[in-house]
Chain A
Amino acid sequence: MEKVVVEVNSLVKEYGSLKAVNDVSFEVYEGEVFAFLGPNGAGKTTTVEILEGIRPLTGGSANVFGYDVSKREDVKEIKRRIGVLPQEFNALDKLSVKENIDLIGGMYEKKLEALEVIKLLDLEDKTNDRFENLSGGLKQRVGVAAALVNDPQLVFLDEPTTGLDPKARREVWAVIENLKRLGKTVFLTTHYMEEAQILADRIAIINKGKIAVIGSPQELISQHGGLKVLIIRKGGKKLAETLQDKYGGTTLNHNRDVLVKVDDVKEMWQALSTLTEMKMDKEIEIQTPSIEDVFLKIVGRTITEEGELK
């Protein structure tokens, strides 16, 4: 049986009449990458900050390593055992990378050497560079390094790639994959669908303070992602009509591509055999549904680059 690291039951966080987190329940297992996927204002950071012990809850319960986040003495223990990359991480501008990591490391009794985490994050050539002179991606890496300096069992990464360019984003993804290899449990929040799909073992889609669905990417896609689509490039109207008559679920797009929704491999072969029968030699592509499709189906909208619902 998988060991539960985070256990949340009916968690509620209210600000006056606004329920930022509304009856949320989930578990995070040891060694997994668990992603909270949702738009801005969905309640991701609020939930994470409750788990980190820096924001009080209004209702329900939350335990991290079995310690209750609403108990002062338990919070001290939680803080010792977790590593955190907060949203929009910043450090002291005039201090170097090493000095900043030493500063965070100095807060813990048990800690790794700053140079060790610097090496782990591949920041060796930036060791003595001032934080203010680093690029956005490097700053995030310093943030991750600071989150690892106390050798935590659980690492919270709150929107670790927001505002980064694609190259820097991929660098951070590599870091997260490395954390997983090191056996760390990672609690990731993000509004990037692709990020959640690539990195997470399990994803919880959260919207308006409620978890809409939770599961592994494959589970979510198979349950909510809809059918695969066989795309026949430049298939034309005649092929589209033939396939529609035979199997249904066929459309023609403005590029004259024929799109056939297929439920399984058998249906796919049937469509392809029709193509052979009609002696048509066309370029073929199979489009599988993604977490974006899942999100669209569950929430009814998608998320912009900036994290807003569209």
Chain B
Amino acid sequence: MNRSIIIFKAVTKNWMRSRSGLFFSIMFPVLLLLVFGAIFSGQGGASATGLFVQNLDRDANEVATSLSTSFIEALNSTKFFDVKDVPVDADAKLYARDALGPLGGNIRILIIGQDFQDNLVNGTFKVRVGISYTTLNTTYYQFFKWNLNETQQQAFEQGLQDLQLYNESLLGGQASLTLMLDASDQSAPTIKNVVLSVANAFNYQMIGAENVIDFNEESVTSTQFSAVDFYIPGIIAAFIMTNGIIGLTANTTEFKRRGIIKRLSITPLTKMDWIVGNVLSQTLLNLMLTAIIIVIGWIVFNVQVIPDIFAVILIFLGSVMFSGIGMLLSGLVKDVEAASAIGNAIAFPMMFLSGTYFPMDFMPSYLQSFAKVLPLTYFSEGLRSAMILKYSEGIFSNMAIVIALAIGFIVLGSLVTRWKEK
């Protein structure tokens, strides 16, 4: 154990004095946190989504009708859109493209059709008459027909028939809205849903419907966490992974290439001492990373997340697991460049497919299935359960898998670590 401690101290000191090591292990994750935090915390004023609106519904004086104007105001009131008017006589696509310029981003246009107001009024009136007829008809035959005498019944039924005929004679109509979006626009589904929600709300308002569903929003956690809080375990997990798979692999391969491992193997140092020393060094590095990320998150974004004992245990287990993978790779790959390339090829897809930066629900089902075989998935879910959700089943089930993987990888890593020449 004493030799492991000496290796731990030497390897850690060597790493701490390496600027590139320090940058990629600590500074890079911190920068990423600041970028993610700036995007998702809303700090710095997140901009509204630009939407060009061409209102073709004009009265005889070429003035926009009141209902179409109200609809645009309703869109504006969501604060989701930054509505920009398109002149009635312009080609909306060309106008939007020119207005955005070469780096303007995605073109999003909503066209309010001609006779929007008339169709809305007519359609609404027809719907209201139809509802009245259906209500009277149902109520009459189900509840009070039998309380009326024959003359009264005849009169009521005649009235119902007249109302039905009147409804059929009404023009009705459907107000037209056309939403034009770029297929590659990642915000397209959201924009479509917001416009539809506003249109539906407008519809209900017109026909006089009232809310009968009481909608409430509540957090699943006892503490009020922000979006940045939710990203912190993911960032920590992802960089513990890269420290092991990229950092340790590159370091160990470099030590091997330069004969440092061979020099140590000629002393009484055992292979297990060497591995334990490196795992301890990775654990310290990862605990430092966690502390720095949380302190910066706390100072800059006022995050609430605090790691508990389970998070610390998971960080240790994650360090063992990813050190094992690092040892495995450096044992299998001879030169530093190849080790680095392979480390990156494994680490980066894992980083994006394991739900560390965005939920796995966003991914297609086959990728979700693939994510279930990635070690980072269980590690980051475990950390999230420990740091955010405080969900003991999530902590222990993921911890059990991480323990199994850590044992498996460290055994494989030690098997391929050569302590004797061929």
Interface residues of A (CB under 8 A from B): 15, 49, 52-56, 76, 79-80, 82, 84, 86-95, 99, 103-104, 106-109, 130, 146, 150
A contact residues around B266 at 8 Å (CB): 52-54, 79, 82, 84, 86
Task: State which of B47-55, B137-145, B257-265, B311-319 sits at the interface with chain A.
Answer: B257-265
Q: Can you list, as one digit per residue, whether each of B1-26 has a CB less than 8 Å from chain A (1) or not (0)?
A: 01100110011011111100000000
> Are B420's CB and A79's CB within 8 A?
no
CA distance A150 to B269 in the complex (A): 13
Q: Which of B7, B259, B269, B422 contacts A89 (CB 8 A)?
A: B259
> Are A92's CB and B14's CB within 8 A?
yes
Closest CB-CB distance, B248 to chain A, in whole Å? 15
Decide yes or no whether B219 CB sits under 8 A from chain A: no
> Are A54's CB and B420's CB within 8 A?
yes
Contacting A at CB under 8 A, from B257-300, are 258-260, 262-269
> Are A107's CB and B259's CB within 8 A?
no
Most buried by B among A87, A88, A89, A106: A106
Known: A86-B266, A103-B6. A55 touches B421 (CB 8 A): yes
Interface residues of B (CB under 8 A from A): 2-3, 6-7, 10-11, 13-18, 258-260, 262-269, 419-422
Known: A55-B422, A95-B13. A89 touches B263 (CB 8 A): yes
Q: Which chain A residue lies CB-closest to B265?
A: A54
Q: Which of B3, B15, B16 contacts A107 (CB 8 A)?
A: B3
> Are B268's CB and A79's CB within 8 A?
yes
> Are B10's CB and A92's CB within 8 A?
yes
CA distance A103 to B6 in the complex (A): 7
> Are B259's CB and A108's CB within 8 A?
no
Closest CB-CB distance, B362 to chain A, in whole Å? 42
Task: Say what secondary structure dominates the interface of chain B.
Answer: helix
Known: A15-B422, A93-B14. A80 touches B268 (CB 8 A): yes
B contact residues around A87 at 8 Å (CB): 259
Q: Which chain A residue lies CB-closest to B11?
A: A92
> Are A104's CB and B267's CB within 8 A?
yes
> Are A76's CB and B268's CB within 8 A?
yes
B contact residues around A76 at 8 Å (CB): 268
CA distance A15 to B421 in the complex (A): 12
B contact residues around A55 at 8 Å (CB): 420-422
CA distance A49 to B418 in the complex (A): 14
Most buried by A among B3, B6, B260, B266: B266
Closest CB-CB distance, A14 to chain B, in whole Å? 11
Q: Which chain A residue lies CB-closest to B262?
A: A86
A contact residues around B260 at 8 Å (CB): 90-92
Q: Which chain A residue lies CB-closest to B258?
A: A90
Task: Say what secondary structure dominates the interface of chain A.
Answer: loop
Q: Which of A84, A90, A95, A109 contacts B10 (CB 8 A)?
A: A95
B contact residues around A86 at 8 Å (CB): 259, 262-263, 266
Q: Given contacts A15-B422, A108-B267, list 8 more A-B pairs with CB under 8 A.
A: A49-B421, A54-B419, A79-B267, A79-B268, A80-B268, A89-B259, A92-B260, A104-B263
CA distance A84 to B266 in the complex (A): 7
Closest CB-CB distance, B16 to chain A, in whole Å? 8
A contact residues around B259 at 8 Å (CB): 86-90
CA distance A276 to B297 in the complex (A): 98
Closest CB-CB distance, B158 to chain A, in whole Å? 100
A contact residues around B422 at 8 Å (CB): 15, 55
CA distance A92 to B251 in the complex (A): 11
> Are B420's CB and A94's CB within 8 A?
no
CA distance A112 to B259 in the complex (A): 23
Closest CB-CB distance, A186 to chain B, in whole Å? 16
Closest CB-CB distance, B179 to chain A, in whole Å? 59
B contact residues around A130 at 8 Å (CB): 17
Closest CB-CB distance, B50 to chain A, in whole Å? 51
A-B contact pairs, 17 of them (CB 8 A): A49-B421, A52-B266, A55-B422, A79-B267, A79-B268, A87-B259, A88-B258, A88-B259, A90-B258, A90-B260, A94-B14, A95-B10, A106-B3, A106-B6, A107-B6, A107-B267, A109-B268
Closest CB-CB distance, A152 to chain B, in whole Å? 11
B contact residues around A56 at 8 Å (CB): 420
A contact residues around B13 at 8 Å (CB): 94-95, 99
> Are B14's CB and A107's CB within 8 A?
no
B contact residues around A92 at 8 Å (CB): 10-11, 14, 260
CA distance A82 to B263 in the complex (A): 12
B contact residues around A106 at 8 Å (CB): 2-3, 6
B contact residues around A104 at 8 Å (CB): 263-264, 267
B contact residues around A109 at 8 Å (CB): 268
B contact residues around A80 at 8 Å (CB): 268
Q: Which chain A residue lies CB-closest to B419?
A: A54
CA distance A108 to B15 in the complex (A): 24
CA distance A99 to B10 in the complex (A): 8
> Are A108's CB and B268's CB within 8 A?
yes
CA distance A49 to B16 in the complex (A): 33
B contact residues around A93 at 8 Å (CB): 14
Q: Which chain A residue lies CB-closest to B264?
A: A107
Most buried by A among B3, B7, B262: B262
CA distance A103 to B267 in the complex (A): 11
Closest CB-CB distance, B325 to chain A, in whole Å? 23
CA distance A76 to B2 in the complex (A): 17
A contact residues around B6 at 8 Å (CB): 103, 106-107
